[in-house]
């Protein structure tokens, strides 16, 4: 047999094997998979089968296809593959690095993600870049399209809604002034080193400041073991020395960079990285000095260099009085779907967030809910009034503090008490989102990326809930 013919036969066999687990309705005869591979190895679970049926709707791909030209440039990850892999990521709780080998070796997941055997599973870096590229608006629109399809299928009804807030923690270490100062000097030193490398120059003194800061940190750890008032005063003193050392590092870095940047042919990226790091370190120095001078709550406090948008949020929980990240408000219907979510920087008052939630509900369903229930943190007479004016018949927002006789009687009615009991169910929904769909902690840094992370988690939850309710 000629070599050319043998090569062609091999190519055909490879294509057939590569299509092992794909579903081709036009084939009337049993597939190769049905013959060679046990059915249990690639057959979708009932839950995944229902979700697969929902995701066959092209409306999930439209927000991405309309905004991005997927035909130009280097071949990218197909939209259907990306959406399905993101669902699996939040459904299974796997990281980007663990998701890829799992999909690679799991025939069922390959079938679900529409990835033939001859194709390579997208690598973690590509998935993260695509996630950032698509942005939070695209993810939000995908969620909206899912909710609209559920409304059409009559799986989602919006007669009742309950609202609550929680915290999506940032993926950062517990912040301390000393730790932030050390991290700032370390990043600053690296930024200067990159500029020196671009100029072809090397300095052996680049790590001097880092060693000094590390020695100060070790001293703080030793002092804190005493747990006395004198120890706290000594820690403040050492932190002051670290702030002074960090200020010297900033001055030195700025001077060297100013001298060397022209030799880098005005590399904007290097200059931008350095200036950004300098600004953050200066802010850390200022807030640490303010704390040492008695101001324990400086405004707009920076708690991380990696995630500068994260903020401390005081919730008053037992064992976790302060959380670090972003405030998330969610609204849930009687069907168990998350119909709206809003992520906020810092810790805005709950009272001012009701209008946003009610507006999103009306945009989705075309009318206000019949019943709405919130906790006492949302109470404001203006919120009750605006809800009634929007068309809500029954509003349940318990009032804290002293109540009038009329208010006591109103909150004692069967309808109010029923809605109050029903509202408590959203705590379980929040727990489910955090434990199963990754909303306890964002693995993406920054406000914008945390919005994306939150949206993907809620999208996965709504798909999972739809599969549970489908016959």
Query: In this predicted structure, what is the pLDDT of residue 459?
Result: 95
- Same-domain pairing of 167 and 206: no
pLDDT of 3 higher than 70? no
Do residue 314 and residue 445 come from a single domain?
yes
410 burial class (0-12, 13-18, 19+ CB within 10 angstroms)? middle
- Percent of the chain at pLDDT exceeding 70: 85
Query: Is residue 139 in some structural domain?
Result: no
Residue 353 to residue 343: CA distance in whole angstroms:
11
How is residue 374 annotated by DSSP?
-
Residues 316 and 462 in one domain: yes
Residue 30 falls inside a structural domain:
yes
Q: Which DSSP string corresponds to 416-447?
A: HHHHHHHHTHHHHHHHHHHHHSSTTEESS-SH
Partners of 332 in beta bridges: 162, 338
302 near 311, Cβ under 8 Å? no
CA distances, 388 to each of 370, 372, 395, 399 (Å):
10, 10, 8, 17
Model confidence pLDDT, tens digit, residues 95-143: 999 999 999 988 889 989 988 887 889 999 989 988 888 888 889 999 9
Domain membership flag for residue 145: no
Contact call for residues 337 and 465 (beta carbons, < 8 A): yes
Dist. CA 447–CA 257, nearest whole Å: 29
Q: What are the Cα distances from residue 453, in Å, to 169, 440, 441?
A: 12, 11, 9
Does residue 45 form part of some domain?
yes
Query: What pLDDT, on a 0 to 100 scale, did the predictor assign at position 134?
Result: 84
Q: Per residue in 63-90, pLDDT tens? A: 877 776 655 555 578 888 999 999 999 9
| 3-class SS of residue 136 | helix
Domain total for the chain?
Answer: 3
* Per-residue pLDDT tens over the stretch 174-215: 888 889 999 988 888 888 877 777 776 665 555 777 888 888
Whether 366 and 267 share a structural domain: no
Domain extent at residue 63: 3-133
CA angle 244, 246, 251 (to 5 degrees): 95
269 burial level (CB within 10 Å; 0-12, 13-18, 19+): exposed
| Mean of all residue pLDDT scores within the chain | 84
First-to-final CA distance of the chain:
55
**Cβ neighbours for 264, distance < 8 A, ≥ 6 positions apart:** 195, 198, 199, 270, 271
18 and 119 share one domain:
yes
Cα–Cα distance measured from residue 275 to residue 258, given in angstroms and rounded to the nearest whole number = 11
Domain end, chosen from 235, 258, 292, is at 292
Same domain, 46 and 94: yes
CB 220 within 8 A of CB 238: yes
Q: Do residues 157 and 56 make contact, with C-beta atoms less than 8 angstroms apart?
A: no
Q: Give the helix/strand (H/E) hosting 343.
A: strand 338-344
| Contact by Cβ (8 Å): 337, 160 | no
Q: Are residues 251 and 196 in the same domain?
A: yes
Q: Is the same domain home to 8 and 71?
A: yes
pLDDT of residue 445: 92
**Other C-beta atoms lying within 10 Å of the C-beta of residue 360:** 17
Task: Verify that 203 and 258 share a domain, yes or no.
Answer: yes
Q: Are 349 and 327 in contact (CB under 8 A)?
A: no
Whether 239 is in a domain gets the answer yes
């Amino acid at each position: 047999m000629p070599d050319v013919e043998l090569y062609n036969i091999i190519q055909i066999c490879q294509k057939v094997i590569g299509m092992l687990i794909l579903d081709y309705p036009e084939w009337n005869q049993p597939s190769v998979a049905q013959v060679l591979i046990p059915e249990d190895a690639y057959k979708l679970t009932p839950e995944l089968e229902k979700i697969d049926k929902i995701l066959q709707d092209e409306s999930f791909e439209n927000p991405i296809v309309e905004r991005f030209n997927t035909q130009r440039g280097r071949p990218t990850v197909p939209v259907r593959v990306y959406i399905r892999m993101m669902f699996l990521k939040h459904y299974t709780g796997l990281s980007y690095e663990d998701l890829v080998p799992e999909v690679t070796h799991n025939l069922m997941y390959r079938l679900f993600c529409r990835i033939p055997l001859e194709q390579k599973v997208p690598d973690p870096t590509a998935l993260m870049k695509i996630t950032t590229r698509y942005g939070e608006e695209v993810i939000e629109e995908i969620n909206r399209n899912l909710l609209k399809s559920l409304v059409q299928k009559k799986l989602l009804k919006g007669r009742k809604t309950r609202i609550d807030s929680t915290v999506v923690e940032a993926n950062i270490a517990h912040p301390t002034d000393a730790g932030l100062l050390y991290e700032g000097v370390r990043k600053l030193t690296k930024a200067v080193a990159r500029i020196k490398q671009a100029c072809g120059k090397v300095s052996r003194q680049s790590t001097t400041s880092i060693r000094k800061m590390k020695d100060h940190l070790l001293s703080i750890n030793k002092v804190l073991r005493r747990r006395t008032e004198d120890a706290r005063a000594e820690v403040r003193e050492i932190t002051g020395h670290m702030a002074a050392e960090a200020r010297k590092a900033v001055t030195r870095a700025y001077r060297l960079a100013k001298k060397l940047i022209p030799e880098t042919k005005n590399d904007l990226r290097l200059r931008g990285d350095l200036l950004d790091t300098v600004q953050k370190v200066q802010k850390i120095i200022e807030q640490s000095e303010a704390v040492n001078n008695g101001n324990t709550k400086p405004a707009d406090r920076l708690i991380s260099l990696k995630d500068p948008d994260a903020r401390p949020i005081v919730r008053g929980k037992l064992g976790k009085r302060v959380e670090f990240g972003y405030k998330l408000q969610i609204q849930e219907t009687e069907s168990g779907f998350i119909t709206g979510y809003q992520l906020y920087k810092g810790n805005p008052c709950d009272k001012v967030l009701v209008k946003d939630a009610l507006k999103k509900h009306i945009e989705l369903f075309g009318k206000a809910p019949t019943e709405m229930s919130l906790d006492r943190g949302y109470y404001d007479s203006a919120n009750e009034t605006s809800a009634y004016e929007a068309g809500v018949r029954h509003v349940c927002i318990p009032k804290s503090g002293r109540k009038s006789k009329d208010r006591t009687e109103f909150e004692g009615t069967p309808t109010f008490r029923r809605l109050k009991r029903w509202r408590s169910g959203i705590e379980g929904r929040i727990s489910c989102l955090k434990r199963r769909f990754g909303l306890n902690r964002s693995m993406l840094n920054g406000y914008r990326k945390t919005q994306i992370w939150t949206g993907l988690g809620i999208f996965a939850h709504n798909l999972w809930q739809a599969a549970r309710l489908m016959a």
